[in-house]
Amino acid sequence: MHIAVCVKQVPDTTEVKINMETGTLIRTGVPSIINPYDHFALQTAIGLKKQHGGEVTVISMGPPQARSVIQLGLALGADTGILLTDMAFAGSDTWATSYALSKAVKKTGRVDLVLCGMQAIDGDTAQTGPGIAHQLGIPQITFAENVEIEGKKIKAKRLTDSGYEFVETQSPALATMILPKDYVCSYPSFVDIFESLKKTYHQWTAEDIGADTAFIGLKGSPTHVNRIYPPPQREKAVMVSGSANELVEKLIDILKKEDFLKGVLNHD
């Protein structure tokens, strides 16, 4: 059993603030973290390894400092860590990223299961997982809450637009993970971190994975960023203050004025 987990280092977007005057990001003090969905994907893979044995490889693409998310993966129990880092990857969109990650997965040898987070919190696209599945020519189970292995079968509970469904497919397959309600995030102990430093870590370039340079980086990306700008701002709110009773009266006036009380007010 070999499970590959694709992870991404992201800025903690909940900590990002915006300077309303200049419209620029206030980045000071914003930590880099592992994408939370990827953290759960890692935990799922390590849980499966505990149950069934085998090996877990954690893979990421990013600048050299993204090594920290690989190291976290190793400390949590992954066996091998791979960081794809090369200026040739810069500017990769989801298509080019899927291509590069799939090349790395292929290079690791036979894979029974590939796990990803459903999306990254800095881009929210949810496109890289299905892209990797296509490049590898394997079935995908997106938005999965759990994944189980029964012999050659991969089983999962996944979210749908009207509820959820239980599905099954043959390995190899790829699943992207949501965060289940009762999810508890686990962190490695000091000993785990110390031990993880002895584990296998590779840093691979585009050449190492045999990537065709026409398909990576800015050149290989079908989407181009044309412009980046601050979100539009609305007109200033009409601010109301006063005693609770005055505020309630005012609120009812507003609701009346905006015509939201038709069913509620059968008089005046």
Q: Which of residues 32-91 bind another protein (CB under 8 A)?
A: 63-65, 85, 87, 90-91
Answer whether 108's CB lies under 8 Å from 117's CB: no
Residue 54's region, left for phi above 0, alpha for psi from -120 to 50, else beta, is: left
Between residues 80 and 98, which has the closer beta carbon with respect to another protein? 98
Between residues 41 and 46, which has the closer beta carbon with respect to another protein? 41
Among 1, 126, 149, 193, contact with another protein (rule: CB under 8 A): 126
Q: Is 218 in the site for another protein (CB under 8 A)?
A: yes
Q: Is 143 in the site for another protein (CB under 8 A)?
A: yes
3-to-128, 137, 141 alpha-carbon distances in Å: 17, 16, 15
- The strand pairing partners of 113, in sequence order, are 3, 173
Among 166, 184, 190, 198, contact with another protein (rule: CB under 8 A): 166
Question: What would the two tokens of residue 12 be?
Answer: 């903690």
Q: How many CA atoms lie within 13 A of 100 on its CB side?
A: 34
Closest residue by Cα to residue 72 from 137, 134, 10, 149: 10
- The strand pairing partners of 217, in sequence order, are none
Among 94, 101, 104, 211, contact with another protein (rule: CB under 8 A): 94
Among 111, 131, 171, 204, contact with another protein (rule: CB under 8 A): 131
Q: Is 241 in the site for another protein (CB under 8 A)?
A: yes
CA–CA distance, 58 with 201 (Å, rounded to integer): 10
Q: Which stretch binds another protein (CB under 8 A): 44-52, 73-81, 121-129, 201-209?
A: 121-129
Q: Is 163 in the site for another protein (CB under 8 A)?
A: yes
Site for another protein in 182-211 (CB under 8 A): none
Residues in the chain: 268
Between residues 1 and 159, which has the closer beta carbon with respect to another protein? 159
Q: Which stretch binds another protein (CB under 8 A): 49-57, 76-84, 92-100, 190-198?
A: 92-100
